[in-house]
Structure 1
């Protein structure tokens, strides 16, 4: 019988800490404590060579259930649609107008944090409503 493996989701981005803190707000994640021997992440960053400072950041599910999110600085900007995206499940179990209202309320909260609404997909005979969005650096995700 295969074992379940832990995994992390990695984002390429220009500003790792900024994007990580956005996703903390979206998902209720937290920034983990700095490495042993450092009292703050800033103190840790100052201990690194200049080219490595601010090159990555991470956030974690405080319950320990969800995957760690890792954000790494890359030199190039986003050029094409993501091949993988997150579905933020805020409407699970809801249908019709109640689901759409819940998705729209969460969408408004995330837009206030810097997200962008791309498209509202209304329910049809096969699927419930969802909202396609982008985070603060243009990475697509769905409110589902």
Structure 2
């Protein structure tokens, strides 16, 4: 039996951070709890102060396969390189001759959403092309 898990990001702006990753991963914002037609209605019912309504956000895989992604507000900024990062398999199944174009197209889409390219690791005898990126809050991830 497998262990269920989620991926958690510390964040300065959980709502905006979640919106970026929802687009990047083709995920959806987690719907409000049953009985509520919106998150605002749920937060009102729970008495959450308006200044704390962006303290957290979550994403779910619409296909129900991938892990939940959770964003929690933290006061300190990101200070160092991530020890763990996501690899977005943007060219999985693409033949070698189309791999570069597929990764560059995904890079361009993510840059338009607020990411930035950090490095490009060219293919060699052991490794395929990899584009190292950062999300809008500076968290590293790879396109491969």
Q: Could you tell which deviates more after superposition, 43-52 or 4-13?
A: 43-52
Whether 1:61 and 2:27 are equivalent positions in the alignment is: no
Aligned partners of 2:60 and 2:126: how far apart in 1?
34
User: Residue 15 of structure 2 aligns to a residue in which SS?
Assistant: helix
Unaligned runs of 5+ in 2: none
User: Residue 127 of structure 1 aligns to a residue in which SS?
Assistant: coil
Aligned partners of 1:32 and 1:53: how far apart in 2?
15
What's the TM-score once normalised by structure 2's chain length? Answer: 0.92
User: Residue 90 of structure 1 aligns to a residue in which SS?
Assistant: coil
**8 Å contact kept, 1:9–1:68:** yes
Aligned partners of 2:56 and 2:72: how far apart in 1?
4
Aligned partners of 2:114 and 2:9: how far apart in 1?
17
Q: 2:22 aligns with which of 16, 19, 24?
A: 24
Which aligned pairs between 1:1-144 and structure 2 lie closer than 5 A? 3-46=1-44, 47-50=47-50, 52-94=52-94, 96-144=96-144
Aligned partners of 2:95 and 2:77: how far apart in 1?
37
What's the TM-score once normalised by structure 1's chain length? Answer: 0.92
Aligned partners of 2:61 and 2:9: how far apart in 1?
16
Aligned partners of 1:76 and 1:6: how far apart in 2?
28
Question: What is the Cα deviation at residue 52 of structure 1?
Answer: 3.6
Aligned partners of 1:69 and 1:16: how far apart in 2?
11
Q: How many positions carry a matched residue from both structures? A: 142
Question: What is the Cα deviation at residue 41 of structure 1?
Answer: 1.5
Question: What is the Cα deviation at residue 50 of structure 1?
Answer: 4.9
**4+ residue runs over 6 A deviation:** none
